[in-house]
Structure 1
């Protein structure tokens, strides 16, 4: 009973996967149908060539070779070759377009979803779904499904052609079909589990590679090179195990099928030879027997071999569809006027686990106000920034932006349009310095970039780089010092010309003089931007209007006590 329930459950799930596949395939359907028709034409030509070969052999036996028939046969060989090449090229290009379509859809889903929901998945796992799983689905739709249809048509066409010449032989050749069906049913469920294990091991394998290469300094600093190599080997062995198990089952079934087909071919040969000996058929008819028996068995075997591939389609589709459940960020179509904006947090409660990081926290930052937030690590400073940036949903409370006219807008993905953010750490991309700065404003001019570089105290060192703005830097700003990379990140934010700036430890790698120059430059901007500075340095306090901290999960204004102490 449990197996029956599991089967029904899987059937319903797979039917949902099939609906998703059909929906995604719809735009490509005309081209897929064209390729299928071309493949069916190849099948028809191959069957007709078997009949033509019979005429050639029979006419040769009579000493009267028909040249026209030979020419037609040769022409069909050439046409078959040309059509086969054309079909392959069309399939390759369509497969590339289809797989990119899936990858684009998944990628867009990821980047438009809440950051916190996406981070539940490891980057390596997401990469596997974007590459391997998307490839499996694409290959299935472009190659496997059309091949299955082609094989079914080929099976019936060959069967009825053979039945015309020898009903008994046709029925005998078809006897292997039930064997193929039984093997397919027995292996389908097993293959599904094994394919899932293969994809999961692939995700772990890629995840480790991605993490160890991204954090190679940590690996080297703790002298963990040997450990990393051993772990990679262990993950490789795990992946190899599941690949071996999957292919072992697949090859075992193929071998059983192949043996049964070879037996059928031997029987056809014996029957044909006996009938030729009794002069019941010609040599040409016997050649048709052997050709068609082989061709009727080939699609049956081919259909059995497609079972693992069909399982792979649904397994990979399920892993892709799983990402469809990620909630897309809320984005308002209309924004308030934002020459200057402030932000108001009311009774915000949020936690990554059941224990809240912020509990009933409130804060109001007025338009044009400079506010610093200080305090030890882990108290919720970066969490507060992520909530303001709408990278994740707050469990309770409200976050509203407002302008000088009193217009309000609830924080959402669209409100990032008037926010410039400098996160912690090195966040530069590989490419030129110019491309990195343009990430802040894709339409910025050279003049605006130079102004941003000067405000961030980066102009002088950028001018001294080999190619200036067009100097190529590596991943995470390789080729620049930490301080230089941080100043480029600040310039990237400033070129945005946003009315609300968030600096999350953005000056931690700068010397005190450079930090002061940057802060003074910010205060000179007109209209004056609102600025939230997260820092451990008290040197920024004189440049801020207020200082706040987070205590007992609440946001506390500590500027008044500090000012009183300074006055004393």
Structure 2
């Protein structure tokens, strides 16, 4: 019961809960592509089985050559070579299939993320630097898409390889099987420590990637301003400070990795030499053949490597979970209400030739529940009249336009548009088509000026442009 309680407590740890929640999102894509995942797992299983079979065949081949057993050599050689060639073609097929599925999964996830972000409330998404968003939707999504296809097949093949090698050794010599597993307790005992460090370094690396992109993006986009105000040295020093920060994190991670490599390497060497020594001892006593010795060493190596592969799945699980969590953080931001109600559709369709009145009634405006830009304000604008918003910088002119366009919501009060018949609707994201908007800053997208003008009417003729 104590072990179960500890396990439950471990699962309830905040970081673990976040990673498990992130993986529930990854699994939604795994289920979507379950056919490809199953097929890829089957290919991996066939390749693993052929590898184990090759080691077994090699035993018989060596024993045949050394005269330990009476068996025709040619058929054994043919089976061995056929298996080796088949593995080459299976690996090529695996690479081809995995690339195709991985690209499709990556495209699908990026499409889903892009669509979701484009329909997220502006105030929520604007709290993130554009470079941070690009890192999350680029590198982090890439890590997730790789996991969708590869993680379960890797788990299956590693476990099958481990179990297969273990039982083959166990069949011939139980003591040898126990020696080959001698390093397992050390690996298990250090798992929690390695989990914590892997989580820590993965978070730092993803945050540094976002920070680096932000620094470079701001520098290159504002190069004219930086040069004009003589800020080149300042920004160069900032970039060097960041580079040093990244260097320190990389060296800390490398020190930890080297420490683990030494511990696990020494343990691996101890297990390998123990297996080799015990196998030689059995050969010296005449208990096993040279073929069995070769198979023991091959299986012991396969057992050790497959166990390491199983253990390495935990850091991979953490890495993918953290990247998925970073993507989910922005996906779970509140979405805009972009769908028009029937009332709003009828109003917009029928108001084209009517006089309209815009009324801001007792509205208050603030960003992210912080200091108010203004409180309890009123405004009225009517068709056929020019209404100007005049005020000093920071008094709310741009903020009011954002309210009218539904980019923000008033903290209090209401904004409505009514027609001459007395019908009215509240303004929001879905009612932006009621407005023509000329941005204050220069906003030009990729392409020609004509391409930019056609963004709002893609079938516009040259005369209309």
Tell me which structure has the larger Cα radius of gyration: 1
Instruction: For 1:55 and 1:9, locate their aligned partners in 2 and report how far apart those are by CA, in whole Å.
Output: 53
Asked which structure has the greater RCO (Cα within 8 Å, sep 6+), the reply is 2
| Most deviating of 310-319 and 341-350 | 341-350
Question: Who is 2:60 aligned against?
Answer: 55
Question: Who is 2:187 aligned against?
Answer: 180
> Which of 304, 315, 335 is the equivalent residue of 2:322?
315
User: For 1:183-207, what per-residue CA distance to the aligned partner results, in whole angstroms no more than 9, with x for missing partners?
Assistant: 2222101211221111112211111
Question: Who is 2:366 aligned against?
Answer: 351
Q: TM-score, normalised by structure 1?
A: 0.74
Instruction: For 1:350 and 1:288, locate their aligned partners in 2 and report how far apart those are by CA, in whole Å.
Output: 75
Does the Cα contact within 8 Å between 2:37 and 2:152 map onto a contact in 1? no
Question: Who is 1:268 aligned against?
Answer: 275
Please state how far the C-alpha of 1:2 moved relative to its aligned partner.
Answer: 13
Please state how far the C-alpha of 1:238 moved relative to its aligned partner.
Answer: 1.3
> Which of 331, 336, 339 is the equivalent residue of 2:352?
339
Please state how far the C-alpha of 1:274 moved relative to its aligned partner.
Answer: 2.1
Instruction: For 1:427 and 1:271, locate their aligned partners in 2 and report how far apart those are by CA, in whole Å.
Output: 74
Instruction: For 1:245 and 1:105, locate their aligned partners in 2 and report how far apart those are by CA, in whole Å.
Output: 36
Does the Cα contact within 8 Å between 2:417 and 2:425 map onto a contact in 1? yes
SS in 2 for 1:359: strand
Instruction: For 1:241 and 1:142, locate their aligned partners in 2 and report how far apart those are by CA, in whole Å.
Output: 34
Tell me if 1:362 matches 2:367: no
Does the Cα contact within 8 Å between 2:36 and 2:149 map onto a contact in 1? no
> Which of 105, 112, 118 is the equivalent residue of 1:111?
118
Question: Who is 1:168 aligned against?
Answer: 175
Does the Cα contact within 8 Å between 1:339 and 1:403 map onto a contact in 2? no
> Which of 412, 419, 422 is the equivalent residue of 2:438?
422
Instruction: For 1:101 and 1:283, locate their aligned partners in 2 and report how far apart those are by CA, in whole Å.
Output: 53
Is there any run of 5+ residues in structure 2 with no aligned partner, and where? Answer: none
Instruction: For 1:138 and 1:240, locate their aligned partners in 2 and report how far apart those are by CA, in whole Å.
Output: 28
Does the Cα contact within 8 Å between 1:351 and 1:357 map onto a contact in 2? yes
Question: Who is 2:27 aligned against?
Answer: 22
Please state how far the C-alpha of 1:376 moved relative to its aligned partner.
Answer: 2.8
Instruction: For 1:302 and 1:392, locate their aligned partners in 2 and report how far apart those are by CA, in whole Å.
Output: 50
Please state how far the C-alpha of 1:22 moved relative to its aligned partner.
Answer: 1.6
> Which of 408, 417, 440 is the equivalent residue of 1:392?
408
Tell me if 1:243 matches 2:250: yes
Question: Who is 1:497 aligned against?
Answer: none
Tell me if 1:11 matches 2:16: yes
Question: CA 1:225–1:6 in 2, change beyond 3 Å: closer, same or farther?
Answer: farther
Question: CA 1:380–1:332 in 2, change beyond 3 Å: closer, same or farther?
Answer: same
Does the Cα contact within 8 Å between 1:180 and 1:300 map onto a contact in 2? no
Question: Who is 2:85 aligned against?
Answer: 78
Instruction: For 1:244 and 1:441, locate their aligned partners in 2 and report how far apart those are by CA, in whole Å.
Output: 54
Tell me if 1:233 matches 2:240: yes
Please state how far the C-alpha of 1:7 moved relative to its aligned partner.
Answer: 5.5
Please state how far the C-alpha of 1:404 moved relative to its aligned partner.
Answer: 4.1
Please state how far the C-alpha of 1:244 moved relative to its aligned partner.
Answer: 3.1
Question: Who is 1:215 aligned against?
Answer: 222
Question: CA 1:141–1:245 in 2, change beyond 3 Å: closer, same or farther?
Answer: farther
Question: Who is 2:140 aligned against?
Answer: 133
Instruction: For 1:137 and 1:15, locate their aligned partners in 2 and report how far apart those are by CA, in whole Å.
Output: 14
Does the Cα contact within 8 Å between 1:348 and 1:396 map onto a contact in 2? yes
Instruction: For 2:52 and 2:10, locate their aligned partners in 1 and report how far apart those are by CA, in whole Å.
Output: 44
Q: TM-score, normalised by structure 2?
A: 0.90
> Which of 294, 299, 310 is the equivalent residue of 2:306?
299
Instruction: For 2:281 and 2:433, locate their aligned partners in 1 and report how far apart those are by CA, in whole Å.
Output: 84
SS in 1 for 2:379: strand
| RMSD of aligned residue pairs (Cα, Å) | 2.3
Count of residues in Structure 1 that have an aligned counterpart in Structure 2: 449
User: For 1:402-426, what per-residue CA distance to the aligned partner results, in whole angstroms no more than 9, with x for missing partners?
Assistant: 3444332221212112322111111
Tell me if 1:401 matches 2:401: no
Instruction: For 1:248 and 1:30, locate their aligned partners in 2 and report how far apart those are by CA, in whole Å.
Output: 41
Note the 1:250-265 alignment, pairs <5 A: 250-265=257-272
